[in-house]
Structure formats: C-alpha cells, structure tokens
Amino acid sequence: MKILVTGGTGLVGYGFQNVASNYDHDFTFLSSKACDLLDYSSTLSWVESQNPDVVIHLAANVGGLFKNMTKKVSMFQDNIEMNNNILKACAACGVKRFVGMLSTCIFPDKTTYPISEDMVHDGPPHSSNDSYAYAKRMLDVQCKAYRDQYGLEYNCIIPTNIYGENDNYNLEDSHVIPGLIHKAYISAKNNIPFVVYGTGKPLRQFIYANDLALGILETLWYSESNIIISPTEEHSIGSIANRIAEAFDIVDLLEFDDTKSDGQFKKTADNSKFKELIETKSKSKSFNFTSIDSGINITVKYFKDHIDTVRT
C-alpha cells in the first residue's frame, strides 16, 4: 500500500519515519519545500504524481498557547487553505482513504469530561485558540462531506498534546514541552531562573509522536469517523516542568509566573474507542504508550545532541 504523509518532515512525520520499517507499506514523506499546500495547482500535481492509496495529512500551521493568541488570522487562513487544497486534490485523484489531524483544542471550552469524538461541535472552543480550533473543526466537517457525497473513506484523528524529538523548539511559538525544554537549556547554560508561564496547574494528556504514528497506522482502516488517540493519564504543566528541570539539573531554578495566562484548565479526552479498535481489530492486539518520563528524557537528549540544528 502506498501512503503519502504531508508534513512528513515535522514532529509527527518524524515519528512516522521512525516506525515505518514496522510496516510493509511504501511511504512518501512530503515536506513544504517539495510542495506548497497553500497552492492548489502544486498540491494537485504532487498528489497526481504520487498516486497514493492513502493520504495522512499532518501538515498545518501550528503553535502553542501564545502563538494561538497572537496570530489568529494566519492560524485560521493557512489551515483552511491547506485542508481545502489537499482534500480537493485527493478527491480529484481518486484517493480512497484520507486521515486528517485534529487537536483536542477543537472541543468546547464549557463541556463535560471526558470529552469524546461526538462532542466536537457542542459549543465554542476556548477563546485562546479559537481561530486554530475552528479551522480544524472545518476539516472534520469537510471529511464528513466527502464521505456523504462521494462515499470516500475520509476521517480524522484527534491526538492530545504531541511531543517528541523533531519538534519546533521556538521559545514563543512552540508547544509546551519543546518550549520548556529550550527555556530549561538556557536556564542551565546561564544559571538563571527557569520561568514557566502560568500557575503550572492546568492538566494535559501528552502523547509521544512515535506512539501517535503507530496508533494511526494500527487503526488506519477500521473507522469511518474520528478517533481520539491518547494515553489515559493526565499531567499538570507544573509536573512536566519539574521533570524537564530534573533532566537539566536545575530544579532549584524553577519558577512560575502566575501573571501569564494558563489557557484552558483541562481537556480530558476519552480514548475508549481507540482502545476498543486496538483490542478487536488491530493485528498487534495491544498498544503500550511510552511513559512520560521516558519520552521527556528521549526528547531532552535529542535537543541536547542537536542543539545547533533543532528547529526554533
């Protein structure tokens, strides 16, 4: 089976590259340098040239809390355009299976927990990331439209907070774990406070990028609707910061700036559908998530080993 992965050189794309050898598929990893997904002609030409059986769409304009709060226009427009172009090109080229990448930030701000796949459109998302969230919600709407009108097997994956080696470690625009790793490195290097924005109390479920890639591949053909892929455990931002501080031996320099926004307090996701698919459909019949301690240690080591070349 031929699988085209957009965003193939990013965080989750790197995870796919790490696990691809476990599967007898022909993978092509598409980078933004090879194809501009904001341009439909370029997107169509690339999909036509590859003639894939499956497209896994990871490419997106993404970032952490503060990028979502300060760059709302580009977060909305870029993601809407990329999603439109890749879906239109896939349908035009007869791609039968499409998997899009959503995020738990798409769920309503005011909701009951745990959140499940059928609760996406039950209310507005948190104001801190509403532009990105609405763009991602539209990917869900679009996939359903292609299923309903053309009978195509198009659906979405909803991961919780993703982290791993080949992440964006920018101090302003990154997700929480890579941003904290970079901050901790600077703190250790200069013996200055390791300042974490917010109180450290919000809770999140974190998924290692390699685990997400494996989860997508294990459930690739088993559902026509969305699937949440996530470990069950939640961790506070403060506990994550403390683990990273330990990895850099700077626990005594850790501080919290509670004048900064915490964002949404929790986004507890229900992974029961994923677990049922693994237990009843997957060839592996089991799935073990990487522990948060192991995952953070691997990611910190990668950052230290590649400090001159990591994305920032």
Catalytic residues: 132
Could you give the CA distance from residue 28 to residue 34 in angstroms, rounded to a whole number?
11
Location of structure tokens 């745990």: 114
Distances (CA, A) of 258 to 194, 197, 199: 14, 7, 5
Q: Are 129 and 61 in contact (CB under 8 A)?
A: no
Helix (H) or strand (E) segment spanning residue 251: none
Q: How many CB atoms lie within 10 A of CB 172?
A: 12
What does residue 280 show for φ and ψ, rounded to 5 degrees? -105, -25
Could you give the CA distance from residue 187 to residue 178 in angstroms, rounded to a whole number?
14
Cα radius of gyration (the chain): 19
Could you give the CA distance from residue 185 to residue 180 in angstroms, rounded to a whole number?
8
Distances (CA, A) of 9 to 14, 16, 88, 190, 262: 6, 9, 22, 31, 30
Helix (H) or strand (E) segment spanning residue 27: strand 26-30
Q: In the numeric block, which tokens belong to residue 72?
A: 């709302």
Report strand pairing: 235-236 vs 203-204: antiparallel
Could you give the CA distance from residue 303 to residue 179 in angstroms, rounded to a whole number?
11
